[in-house]
Structure 1
């Protein structure tokens, strides 16, 4: 049962330990204990990210050819224990609890009760989920879909579905008649997918794991390695130990970039030895990335001008620029023309800090640029990504060993599902080939992305929503408006392993379909099955389930997709749904036929240690752009988010954050160890000066209100003020709790990624907020 008492105040005790170390080990064992998997869980974890093992269900960090003995991180271990828990939800649970009652539970309480075990249908009159046979669920869902306009239906997918499932799901959507295939990438790295092709001719990063062994410099922007991709700390530690400078640009000081103790090393654990990771740490203004990169570029270009004039060796790679790039003169002229005073104002950094970064970068023969959603989730997120490319191109740092650009992806197969057709953009899918392969005419119109699907739901234009994993309603912006609009949908279907809030906000007709998790054994007609995933470095890996299923009533994701598809579509002899469900290798054969250049010898190569890489011409300096070269692209200016002036002291920029006790919308607990916050997630991190200027003290209870005038009042109440090392003008709050503050229209230009890293808000004392609401 959940704790229904009034939430206790946050406990704030600064954490002095490093990332990793004993804190990480204790956290993992505590999670295994809570999920009743201490002995067997540790044995299962030994197969995580290993050959003949399973791919982590958490982040998409690369799987090395020669893995560590313990090839998992704290967050990955939590995700595994969360999935293989011995706790489960029988049909009796839903007899005891109405949906209205469950809506009062927290996200953590909903998921911690265990695995879903039976397919369920909504009984609206009784306000309950009730059991339904799989055959009946498929037949009824199919009947609903057959009576609808396909263009008014949405097939969403989170990033955890395998390549096999994703391919089948995307094909089902197009056979049905639409390209409405939004996914979690629309909410995070779509700015990458839009920004990189024009710059380098590829929608993904160019770095390979072995490049960490060859690089001489690392630049990181807007990425929290300790919480979002902790296994990256292993190659970062190796780089730091051999003297590679690691230059970090991030508004908050995050422990993973500061210090690390390797849990894989008995010596480090026993001696508590720590490795310093960042050699420079620049706390730029939230949204100050374009200005900061301009400053580093300007310092580098002007130093090169002086060196060339004096007859010294140049700092820029002019041979590379001339042979492989287009637009350098325009970019260099733009950088030279920017005033240092404006660069400092918009970046929040001193000229000296940016020159120091430029000096180290200039001295390195190779360098990599790493970034996360701190770049992509801004209104100018696409420009942010292209600016980092500009910086790398100045010294020829794309397309050679030890160099390149590296977007750090989130969900474990979020990149892969786009590779096999999960995309609202028809130009990214081989529709002509699919038409021949399956004997149908695919839809050619552009479908809805995540924001557009939300807009259509608010406007009442969506008739059906199918969710392949995830917690869509709670993950998207404008949460309150989305929840209010959701019941207008005729049909909602959620495919899931655990209960979450999206399963309690339902359409008029609703189904909750429990599936096997990736870590569970999947036995079909031809025997045990493996699935495959693509990591953030474009390598395709095999994944074998290792534990017994949570319930005999579960079906695999491919079986569920096929079951709905067969009940919806007319039979097509070229689409062998039953054969695919019985033998996933046949799905992989179909994928290879659809994407021969990417998946050549798929069923053979997928078992290679370290996986096999997708071909990426930019790694060989083959630029698939209109100019035939990599392109320098000039930004429109320094303003990345706010329409108001920087000096408007009333408005602050809210940066949404994840704790190290969560992954995306999944909350594992209330211990944000690295930030020293425990007991609650209802906090707002404030610069002491910003708080005191508003008459606020640490521990005060406040509300945040969105500082826009569009006729809608958006507010989150009951937040406790915590003084924190965050730049003035910015505040921090947890995702997804702060999503109600983000308007649907507050997104990145061109990519429509929600601009969650700079939401304009006002801070109000709780009593003031209550009066304003009344």
Structure 2
């Protein structure tokens, strides 16, 4: 596939995609990845079972699985994730004999993934700079010996969102029995701002919406969430809502095709006729970081209309009963909003007063509204303020805790929310430590652990000596890649539980291990038979998942079995801690989870395969506010944007994006169909007027430099990028994640959660000089 960015620029064209999301384009996208992945025979049967009771739960996003499922309950991205994991290619010990680690560092992310499934445990041999074959006994013994000699608090147990609730619970238990709370997780890089920020204002660290609300709402207000790429199964409920008259209003810097139009691939009529559903009723392209001002504008309109209604004796616009009974902070905020100047709101948001009044009118005309958001709100230096402002808007009309309304953060990885639920947390205050003392007869550590950016900062200082990773690709996912990789290599121990080769394996510590695990779609046969695992979706519903495919290698172990094996090799014997029994029958682990979290997981094993999952409840949905005040908190903002820097001449706000051919750091290919960019990821998207004003030319090669005013900010750069004109607000530019991570300071993140501010990176642009001949 050729790079089309330069060609389009030379022709004076802007990359775009005119076709709807879904439809034949989705099927072609699946076919292309399937052709490249060469999945094993039987993948069609796996897809048939995907996201259904008695089948396996998708390893891609955490979008809910409805009780009334369709014949094909998977989306383009879910299908890609499945065929990618079930590839027939194998990354064997013989592969590592042929390639040094130093050589593999020059391979792309896509090339590393294309080597196929890992098949056996591998130990890094520094003398030959190669990974060499090892047995599981050797791996467990060596890692356990190293852990025994290290101070537990100098170790970090990281997890991605892949592992099921059972393995995650035991992983957290292992860490605490060992003696630390250093349990950072992939949510630290995406939705930790929700876990902290949302909890601060409504007392719940997760969203309040359930599936039925999607069918009853009058409107969705979207902020910084792209379902077409990140949660495509959301598109059908959106289309159905639109068809019954619900309004969908979108605020996002880029026009994302999934929020523009959609053809349902499961509708023969739509597929044959090409009849599409227009998704967004209104679409507002605000500047990056402008959500605080935009939402303030909506709130100001609501308050103005309520003031007018009171003067005229009309029906109140604000739900005053809800405000009086359920909130605090309203009086201060309402005076702030009344006094706010529309010109300041326009400047900070990049939207006009007319646009915001129009959106505000739609909001007050709807009785039940769901506020949807993604990383476009969370990944800012003041991401928690973004979330608090959305809660303000919802509270004004009582849109939390009633049917068809609520707050709906859309999570990324399949079990990222569930892992937090069962104990993977650095915060001891969130853990049922009394239950752990009672069940296992030990004293849990009570000191605060690291979030992931703190953990890597401590690694750079030499304070962290070992990292165990339950999935993930940390070296690629984190900011300041060069520093992260250097510090990773200096560790005493790195051990990664993985299905495929990735860049993080290529920076082994003094002792480095690759521990290959089963995929979720594969049979997990233990002493009592094939085992179910479970996951939690974005709506707090728990689903059972069981694999039916033969494992990629006879040497693979399940994530739970690997965690148990490492724990047995590390910890002293404890008659209350029964690793072998738990590995033999995962239902015993679910009994432990139920014992620790009885309100959320009562009758866990009996309810495991309920269609649609079983809901573990949400206090804020019941209008029980577990905040300090006992009420929902209405927040008065102290600034009108979510950045920690101001705009100035020559400084642009960089937004990082995921392509249509990608899941997190996994790169399936080089086709970003929805944005019309093919054959490359080395682009920077920029408004043509900004290109002209900067004296640059579309199609030329440029370098981005960090412009964050820190001492080493100017040293961070990313070059070789094709300057590409695009429909994007002035002052905002965009490039791909994870490539653009090198431009972010490790601690440039949300002030509360430390989530990297990947949606508002200050940068400057310089032309790359052509070599002279």
TM-score of the pair, normalised by structure 2 = 0.97
Partner of 1:691: 691
Partner of 1:444: 446
Q: Secondary structure at the match of 2:723?
A: strand
* Cα shift readout 1:680-723 (whole Å, capped 9, x = no counterpart): 11110011111122222221111101013433200011011111
CA distance in structure 1 between the partners assigned to 2:277 and 2:432 by the alignment: 47
CA distance in structure 1 between the partners assigned to 2:209 and 2:496 by the alignment: 35
CA distance in structure 1 between the partners assigned to 2:410 and 2:377 by the alignment: 11
* Cα shift readout 1:189-236 (whole Å, capped 9, x = no counterpart): 111111112211111100011101100111000001100010000100
Partner of 1:329: 331
Partner of 2:374: 372
**Alignment of structure 1 residues 526-537 onto 2, 5 Å:** 526-537=528-539
Change in Cα spacing, 1:7 to 1:572, as seen in structure 2 (3 Å) is farther
Partner of 2:11: none
Partner of 1:67: 69
Partner of 2:365: 363
Partner of 1:563: 565
Partner of 1:124: 126
Distance apart, 1:626 and its partner CA = 2.2
Change in Cα spacing, 1:9 to 1:626, as seen in structure 2 (3 Å) is closer
Change in Cα spacing, 1:46 to 1:483, as seen in structure 2 (3 Å) is same
Q: Secondary structure at the match of 1:598?
A: helix
Partner of 2:677: 677
Q: Secondary structure at the match of 2:598?
A: coil
* Cα shift readout 1:301-320 (whole Å, capped 9, x = no counterpart): 01110111111111111111
Q: Secondary structure at the match of 2:289?
A: coil
CA distance in structure 1 between the partners assigned to 2:166 and 2:248 by the alignment: 38
Q: Is the CA contact (8 Å cut-off) linking 1:174 and 1:443 kept in structure 2?
A: yes
Q: Is the CA contact (8 Å cut-off) linking 1:11 and 1:677 kept in structure 2?
A: no
Partner of 2:704: 704
* Cα shift readout 1:124-183 (whole Å, capped 9, x = no counterpart): 110100000100110000000000011110000000110000000000000000000000
CA distance in structure 2 between the partners assigned to 1:50 and 1:583 by the alignment: 22
Change in Cα spacing, 1:383 to 1:709, as seen in structure 2 (3 Å) is closer
Q: Secondary structure at the match of 2:600?
A: coil
Partner of 1:182: 184
Q: Is the CA contact (8 Å cut-off) linking 1:50 and 1:71 kept in structure 2?
A: yes
Distance apart, 1:8 and its partner CA = 8.6
* Cα shift readout 1:704-762 (whole Å, capped 9, x = no counterpart): 01013433200011011111011110110000000010001211011111000010001
CA distance in structure 2 between the partners assigned to 1:39 and 1:708 by the alignment: 51
Partner of 1:268: 270
**Alignment of structure 1 residues 81-230 onto 2, 5 Å:** 81-230=83-232
**Alignment of structure 1 residues 459-538 onto 2, 5 Å:** 459-538=461-540
**Are 2:629 and 1:640 equivalent residues in the alignment?**
no
Partner of 1:751: 753
**Alignment of structure 1 residues 288-367 onto 2, 5 Å:** 288-367=290-369
Q: Secondary structure at the match of 1:511?
A: strand
Q: Is the CA contact (8 Å cut-off) linking 2:40 and 2:88 kept in structure 1?
A: no
Change in Cα spacing, 1:296 to 1:9, as seen in structure 2 (3 Å) is closer
CA distance in structure 2 between the partners assigned to 1:229 and 1:511 by the alignment: 33
Partner of 2:12: none
Q: Is the CA contact (8 Å cut-off) linking 2:4 and 2:678 kept in structure 1?
A: no
CA distance in structure 2 between the partners assigned to 1:141 and 1:7 by the alignment: 45
* Cα shift readout 1:320-347 (whole Å, capped 9, x = no counterpart): 1112222211111111111111000001
Q: Secondary structure at the match of 1:738?
A: helix
Partner of 2:547: 545
Q: Is the CA contact (8 Å cut-off) linking 2:291 and 2:641 kept in structure 1?
A: no
CA distance in structure 2 between the partners assigned to 1:629 and 1:7 by the alignment: 54
Distance apart, 1:476 and its partner CA = 0.6
Q: Is the CA contact (8 Å cut-off) linking 2:401 and 2:621 kept in structure 1?
A: yes
CA distance in structure 2 between the partners assigned to 1:452 and 1:555 by the alignment: 31
CA distance in structure 1 between the partners assigned to 2:501 and 2:128 by the alignment: 19
Gaps of 5+ in 1: none
Gaps of 5+ in 2: 9-14
* Cα shift readout 1:398-444 (whole Å, capped 9, x = no counterpart): 00100000000000000000000000001011112101110001100
CA distance in structure 1 between the partners assigned to 2:230 and 2:705 by the alignment: 28
Q: Secondary structure at the match of 1:681?
A: coil
Distance apart, 1:39 and its partner CA = 5.9
Partner of 1:737: 739
Distance apart, 1:624 and its partner CA = 1.6
Q: Is the CA contact (8 Å cut-off) linking 1:11 and 1:678 kept in structure 2?
A: no
Distance apart, 1:89 and its partner CA = 1.1
Distance apart, 1:642 and its partner CA = 4.4
Further displaced range: 607-616 or 29-38 = 29-38
Distance apart, 1:767 and its partner CA = 2.3
Q: Is the CA contact (8 Å cut-off) linking 2:211 and 2:539 kept in structure 1?
A: yes
Q: Is the CA contact (8 Å cut-off) linking 1:492 and 1:506 kept in structure 2?
A: yes
Alignment: residue pair count: 764
Distance apart, 1:7 and its partner CA = 8.0
Q: Is the CA contact (8 Å cut-off) linking 1:642 and 1:760 kept in structure 2?
A: no
**Alignment of structure 1 residues 27-38 onto 2, 5 Å:** 27-37=29-39
Q: Is the CA contact (8 Å cut-off) linking 1:206 and 1:616 kept in structure 2?
A: yes
Partner of 2:651: 651
Distance apart, 1:359 and its partner CA = 0.6
**Are 2:433 and 1:425 equivalent residues in the alignment?**
no
CA distance in structure 2 between the partners assigned to 1:125 and 1:8 by the alignment: 44
Q: Is the CA contact (8 Å cut-off) linking 2:40 and 2:87 kept in structure 1?
A: no
Deviating above 6 A after TM superposition, structure 1's stretches of 4 or more consecutive aligned residues are 6-9
Q: Is the CA contact (8 Å cut-off) linking 2:60 and 2:413 kept in structure 1?
A: yes
Distance apart, 1:461 and its partner CA = 1.2
CA distance in structure 2 between the partners assigned to 1:311 and 1:8 by the alignment: 60
CA distance in structure 2 between the partners assigned to 1:465 and 1:113 by the alignment: 24
Q: Is the CA contact (8 Å cut-off) linking 1:11 and 1:679 kept in structure 2?
A: no
Further displaced range: 93-102 or 195-204 = 195-204
Q: Is the CA contact (8 Å cut-off) linking 2:645 and 2:708 kept in structure 1?
A: no
Q: Is the CA contact (8 Å cut-off) linking 2:17 and 2:257 kept in structure 1?
A: no
Change in Cα spacing, 1:460 to 1:8, as seen in structure 2 (3 Å) is farther
Distance apart, 1:10 and its partner CA = 5.8
Distance apart, 1:11 and its partner CA = 6.1
Partner of 1:583: 585
Q: Is the CA contact (8 Å cut-off) linking 2:261 and 2:278 kept in structure 1?
A: yes
Structure 1 residue corresponding to 2:287, chosen from 285, 307, 317 = 285
Distance apart, 1:33 and its partner CA = 2.2
Q: Is the CA contact (8 Å cut-off) linking 1:205 and 1:404 kept in structure 2?
A: yes
Q: Is the CA contact (8 Å cut-off) linking 1:325 and 1:631 kept in structure 2?
A: yes
CA distance in structure 2 between the partners assigned to 1:736 and 1:469 by the alignment: 17
Q: Is the CA contact (8 Å cut-off) linking 2:39 and 2:84 kept in structure 1?
A: no
Distance apart, 1:617 and its partner CA = 1.4
Distance apart, 1:637 and its partner CA = 1.3
